Amino acid sequence: MFDALVIPHATPAKKVPGYQMPEDTTQLLSWEFVTAQMAPSQHYWLTTIAAAGRPHAVPVWGIWYANRLHFEGSMKTAWARNLVRDPRITAHLPNGEQVVIIEGTAHIIEDNDISADAWGTIDALFQTKYHVDKGSPYWYVRPQKVLAWDGGRLQTMTRWVFPAA
């Protein structure tokens, strides 16, 4: 079921010795930073787990809707077959300066999961963004953890941990 996503409080990322990471919450990013980076991106990198256990990375088209990454592609692709077998996924932007990394699980939106109006909005956003007359981002990522930071300023490294669904 496609429920509303409640955004948890931002916390500093786990500190790694030798890195200038946040000591407190004063420089943490807001969720609006995540949205501002995710929404306009033309490509999103997905990493899935192949049957042999190795990582499989691929760029895809997608949209940011309802605080989630939605993406599409053929069920015959390696990444889709991987997700059907094991829904664990990491998604991130191609930009190494304004960083957003989403760890979670991938889900297919079933027809009865959302309203016809929501389907229409999702399809229109996708088709307008990519100038195509068909295509529907019927996959989405349910986040478990999101990491973000702004440029080389690791002191902005912010983490959101979502409750288990």
Query: Which CATH number do you get for residue 133?
Result: 2.30.110.10
One-letter amino acid of 154 = L
Is position 165 within any domain?
Answer: no
Is position 38 within any domain?
Answer: yes
pTM: 0.94
Range of the domain at 125: 24-157
Q: What is the pLDDT along the chain (165 residues), one digit of tens a residue?
A: 567 899 999 999 888 888 888 888 899 999 999 999 999 999 999 999 999 999 999 999 999 999 999 999 999 999 999 999 999 999 999 999 999 999 999 999 988 888 999 999 999 999 999 999 988 889 999 999 999 999 877 889 999 999 987
Number of independent structural domains in the chain: 1
- Cα atoms found within 13 Å of the Cα of residue 65, Cβ hemisphere only: 23
Beta bridge partners of 146: 102, 160
Is position 2 within any domain?
Answer: no
Is position 31 within any domain?
Answer: yes
Is position 5 within any domain?
Answer: no
Is position 16 within any domain?
Answer: no
